[in-house]
Chain A
């Protein structure tokens, strides 16, 4: 099996990726307009206080030294303290990231559950009623802004019907799931629409492929042909799209967390950017980038597993 050496090579590639992420995060945060001292002290700060704050944050040092300090802090896991909240950034990440990750995973799962069977149905009923209905409904889902969809779901299932809480995160795993279903659904619908369209097109393409005709000429059962020959090949492109979409999903979580008042990483990120809370923005960006890189790693592995030509 070529998969194991491939995974090994692919994991090694994470080293330069992470190095690049560290540099970009460091530079981006310093390119943000405004500076933390005036954000903390307000417009009428006196120079002495500004200097004091800058000194506390290490911002009076040369950029090169600041970078080394940044790298060292990552290596030791001590990402500094939040300027605004006065608690360690590492603690904040540990507190907030799981919420966003759970929201993202739930959204991804819901999207898959919706997209896979419907894509299959639509492809097999191509241009018939079921296909047009499925595509029509998803088209609406796709063209609706996430926050608007969220508000509709909140109003109907949260406020009117009272099936789900209208905000917050709850206590305990099941309560978390209960709280996150509506926001996850909000996030999932547009992703499901994209996945469904992609997979439908892929299935239609594969059904016409010669190797599917050859499988039929072998006298195989239709179900075996569908699963082993059609679905597996069709999934190759959809898996890639799915992996890439996770990044977008994490970004979309920022808006969804705001609408549903969920204490996740997205909310924290926005608050920290407004507050010029450098250490938090740096830490969170880093954490998100690492999550996205790991998602891409998993995507590549899944793709290599589906398609042996990738792992060559």
Chain B
């Protein structure tokens, strides 16, 4: 199968007072049609910037390099006019904070309809009908009446549904979801994730799901990519990565997730904090926090390499890490 989206050597840099820093460093992954790929990592690991870079939403002093192939065309070099057709039409994005991502002074109906005006030939009446349909689809009660309401009149979960309705308006083939459930209550989280998966099945839409929540990944994703300090350090199918992590960081993340069933044991936590982008250590950027680190880790940056079909890792000692076993039984 041909990937729907193919990201290669994606590098996003921002200029700071201390020179250029790379928020996203040489990132590559692909998404098959209908596949859900999880992009996992701590805050500041570059997950969100990766999504923003794919649609060229990064703000001006930031620069994006590499290539993002979407159905054979490179999104990073295509003219603005063509890119606008892809944005919202073929690739849609939903944001983490539904309160700040919806325009506070526009009724949600207009915010749905403006997507339709940009990407479809529907007339005013058809757009209104489709907007109502979309509100129904994402499970907002009394859809017709609520189209006139403003974002502040919705609860957090309903706002996220509105955002999904906006994103899905023109039937995209790929959904970029930036922590879509982080701002929501746990019960609402499940509903939203289930909604996204249902829509994936219904519309054969690929999904890139950015999250720091491994529970979400386990429940929803087919494959996952773990990011640390702007780089992808490990990828593979969710089953494989959970069963046998090959990167010490992945192993640490898995160990920090509470599990039911097992006896009451202390959660593992990863010592230290992620490095600031301006002060990434030489060698492997994880080495100061890594229990497996040796001299080579402090000198040479490990490259992301395939060690088994569909399994890639960037670690000098990935065999030892794998031999230490998964913290998830």
Interface residues of A (CB under 8 A from B): 208-211, 213-221, 224, 228-229, 232-233, 236, 306-309, 312
Nearest A residue (CB) for B110: A228
Chain B contacts for A215, CB-based, 8 A:
103, 114
Which of A218, A236, A309 is within 8 Å of B166, CB to CB? A218
Contact A229 B103 (CB under 8 A): yes
Chain A contacts for B89, CB-based, 8 A:
219
> A6 to nearest B CB, angstroms?
14
Complex: how many Å from CA A221 to CA B150?
A: 22
> A207 to nearest B CB, angstroms?
8
Complex: how many Å from CA A291 to CA B92?
A: 50
- The reply to whether the CB of B101 lies closer than 8 angstroms to some CB of chain A is yes
Give B163-198 as 1s and 0s: 1 = Cβ < 8 Å from A's Cβ atoms. Answer: 100100000000000000000000000000000000
- Of B52-60, B128-136, B315-323, the stretch lying at the interface with chain A is B52-60
- The reply to whether the CB of B97 lies closer than 8 angstroms to some CB of chain A is yes
- Of B79-87, B224-232, B248-256, B280-288, the stretch lying at the interface with chain A is B79-87
Chain A contacts for B118, CB-based, 8 A:
218-221
Nearest B residue (CB) for A309: B152
Contact B57 A307 (CB under 8 A): no
Nearest B residue (CB) for A209: B100
A–B pairs, 15, beta carbons within 8 Å: A210-B95, A211-B100, A213-B95, A213-B101, A215-B114, A216-B57, A216-B87, A219-B83, A220-B118, A221-B84, A224-B114, A308-B152, A309-B105, A309-B150, A312-B152
Complex: how many Å from CA A184 to CA B100?
A: 40
Nearest B residue (CB) for A307: B105
- The reply to whether the CB of B115 lies closer than 8 angstroms to some CB of chain A is yes
Contact B152 A217 (CB under 8 A): no
* Chain B: interface residue total (CB-CB under 8 A): 30
> B124 to nearest A CB, angstroms?
16
Complex: how many Å from CA A283 to CA B106?
A: 44
Contact A233 B88 (CB under 8 A): no
Chain B contacts for A306, CB-based, 8 A:
105
Chain B contacts for A228, CB-based, 8 A:
103, 106, 114
Which of B59, B86, B101, B105 is within 8 Å of A308, CB to CB? B105
Contact A211 B103 (CB under 8 A): yes
Contacts known (A211-B102, A213-B52, A233-B104); A218 close to B114, Cβ less than 8 A: yes
Contact A217 B150 (CB under 8 A): no
Complex: how many Å from CA A309 to CA B59?
A: 29
Complex: how many Å from CA A216 to CA B58?
A: 11
> A132 to nearest B CB, angstroms?
17
Nearest A residue (CB) for B86: A219
Contacts known (A210-B100, A308-B105); A220 close to B150, Cβ less than 8 A: no
> B165 to nearest A CB, angstroms?
12
Given A210-B100, A216-B87, A218-B88, 10 extra CB contacts under 8 A: A210-B95, A210-B101, A214-B102, A214-B163, A216-B57, A217-B87, A218-B114, A219-B119, A228-B103, A308-B105
Identify the 9 closest CB pairs spanning chains A and B, nearest first: A219-B88, A219-B87, A218-B88, A217-B93, A210-B100, A211-B103, A219-B84, A210-B101, A214-B101
Nearest A residue (CB) for B104: A309
Complex: how many Å from CA A218 to CA B119?
A: 9
Chain B contacts for A307, CB-based, 8 A:
104-105
Contact A211 B88 (CB under 8 A): no
Complex: how many Å from CA A214 to CA B55?
A: 11
Chain B contacts for A221, CB-based, 8 A:
84, 118
Chain A contacts for B55, CB-based, 8 A:
216-217
Give B105-124 as 1s and 0s: 1 = Cβ < 8 Å from A's Cβ atoms. Answer: 11000000011001100000
Contacts known (A221-B84, A309-B152); A211 close to B119, Cβ less than 8 A: no
Chain A contacts for B115, CB-based, 8 A:
218-220
Chain A contacts for B92, CB-based, 8 A:
217-218
> A209 to nearest B CB, angstroms?
7
> B296 to nearest A CB, angstroms?
41
> B72 to nearest A CB, angstroms?
19
Chain B contacts for A236, CB-based, 8 A:
105
Complex: how many Å from CA A236 to CA B103?
A: 13
Contacts known (A211-B100, A233-B103); A220 close to B52, Cβ less than 8 A: no
Contact B152 A208 (CB under 8 A): no
Complex: how many Å from CA A3 to CA B257?
A: 50
Complex: how many Å from CA A309 to CA B149?
A: 11
> A222 to nearest B CB, angstroms?
8
Nearest A residue (CB) for B176: A217
Which of B87, B97, B119 is within 8 Å of A210, CB to CB? B97
> A307 to nearest B CB, angstroms?
5
Complex: how many Å from CA A224 to CA B117?
A: 11
Chain A contacts for B103, CB-based, 8 A:
211, 214-215, 228-229, 233
Chain B contacts for A312, CB-based, 8 A:
152
> B17 to nearest A CB, angstroms?
15
